[in-house]
Amino acid sequence: MVRLILLGPPGAGKGTQAARLAEELGVPHISTGAILRQAVFEKTPLGVKAQEIMDAGQLVSDDIMFEIIRERLSQPDSRKGYILDGYPRTLAQAEALDRLMSEEKDAPPVTVVNVDLSPEELVRRIAGRRSCSNCGAIYNVHFKPPRREDVCDNCGGALTQRSDDREETVRERIATYERQTRPVLDFYAARVTRVDGRGSPDAIFEKIAGLVRAGKAR
């Protein structure tokens, strides 16, 4: 069983790493942002409520998010472990998650990793980010371009930019991160390993995979 929490600002590369680690480790990649985007796409009551908040670069309420994560972690595939990407994002979420995780029986220690990057580099990366509207694969026009412009290498789907990846929203998301999410790092201070997000994706992947395999947090 693997329990990994990936922390870090938007655009630091958490999603890319989480997807690859999930494949390598055989556990689900749980991205609360992806769950919300799916709800927006399906126009569910949650999606309708969440869209405005997401496009403003703000956070969906802790109560709603906790319900989502509680439900997701109760599904059978989460029993063998999981990689959390985008949750927790506030101190209250971290505390609630800690309680939830402490109820899991015979579970190994939690690995907590923070991938960090400067605000300038975050803005540059997010502006270049594209994802496949069909299979969700992530690209970046600066350093991971698709073979054909705006076409997914994997499935031929159309590449699009997330509506909250526009520059104005990105700046607000980074400000929200600094205000509400950075304090979460203090909560995990004794357990977190910091990873420099400027490294190559391969090097960052190896580092995190090594930490998980060693089953330790630092």
Residues designated catalytic: 14, 89, 129, 162, 173
Other CB atoms within 10 A of residue 49 CB: 16
Residue nearest to ligand AMP (CB): 33
The reply on whether position 86 binds ligand AMP by CB under 6 A is yes
The reply on whether position 173 binds ligand AMP by CB under 6 A is yes
| CA dihedral of 52, 53, 58, 61, whole degrees rounded to 10 | 180
* Identity of the residue, 42 or 206, whose beta carbon is nearer to ligand AMP in the bound complex: 42
Least Å from the CB of residue 147 to ligand AMP: 25
Query: Considering only 41-49, 83-91, 105-113, 197-205, which stretch makes contact with ligand AMP by CB under 6 A?
Result: 83-91
Q: For residue 162, give the DSSP letter.
A: -
Least Å from the CB of residue 144 to ligand AMP: 17
Tokens 């109820």: give the residue.
103
Residues 10-29 within binding reach of ligand AMP (CB under 6 A): 10
Residues 186-205 within binding reach of ligand AMP (CB under 6 A): none
* Identity of the residue, 170 or 204, whose beta carbon is nearer to ligand AMP in the bound complex: 170
In order of 44, 132, 204, 214, the CA distances from 140 in angstroms are 29, 11, 17, 31
β-strand partners of 203: none
The reply on whether position 115 binds ligand AMP by CB under 6 A is no
Least Å from the CB of residue 88 to ligand AMP: 6
Cβ-in-10-Å burial (0-12, 13-18, 19+) of 116 comes to: middle
* Identity of the residue, 180 or 193, whose beta carbon is nearer to ligand AMP in the bound complex: 180
Least Å from the CB of residue 110 to ligand AMP: 16
β-strand partners of 29: 83
Residue 87 · residue 100 · CB < 8 Å: no
**What whole-number distance in Å separates Cα of residue 6 and Cα of residue 120?**
21
Residues 47-66 within binding reach of ligand AMP (CB under 6 A): 53-54, 58-60, 65
Give 6's Cβ-side CA count (13 Å radius): 33
- Kind of pairing, strands 111-116 and 192-196? parallel
- Residue type (1 letter), 190: A
Number of residues counted as binding ligand AMP (CB under 6 A): 16
Residues that bind ligand AMP (CB under 6 A): 10, 32-33, 36, 53-54, 58-60, 65, 86-87, 89, 93, 164, 173
